[in-house]
Amino acid sequence: VQLQAYGGGLVQAGGSLGLSCRVSGRTSGYYAVAWFRQAPAKEREFVAAVSWNFNSPYYGDSAKCRFTISRDDAKNTVHLQMNSLKPEDTAVYYCASGGAVSTREGDYAYWGQGTQVTVSS
């Protein structure tokens, strides 16, 4: 299984940014895709996840009401739309794939490379 994350960049506070994560190599079965983020000198934090079988999203506290996770079945891609961005959202964002939706990074076996998101004040 391979994951490729893209879409990061620099945005002003209050702006929006979309991230995408393309999943390849997984052929079948129940699995989930999640986004985590890690700011400098901080632990990796769960952002959002979606179950591929049930298409049910789950959000961490920092993402509720501002971020939306969705999937594109035809492209095997998961999107993270981030609105009303704040400077504290600045981090490296990682996508990950695992057997089920979980907020714990240890439950995800496959990880993509990170993509930097910087929110200026």
Output DSSP code: residue 26.
Answer: -
Reference 96, options 82, 79, 80, 108; nearest CA is: 108
Question: What pLDDT, in 10s, does the model give residues 15-24?
Answer: 999 999 999 9
What's residue 54's pLDDT?
Answer: 77
Question: What pLDDT, in 10s, does the model give residues 82-118?
Answer: 999 999 999 999 999 998 899 999 999 999 999 999 9
Number of Cβ atoms within 10 Å of the Cβ of 112: 21
Q: Is residue 36 very low, low, confident or very high in pLDDT (cuts 50, 70, 90)?
A: very high
Number of Cβ atoms within 10 Å of the Cβ of 15: 13
The per-residue pLDDT of the chain, averaged, comes to 93
| Residues 51, 57, 61: CA angle, nearest 5 degrees | 130
Q: What is the dihedral of CA 3, 102, 29, 93, to 10 degrees?
A: -10
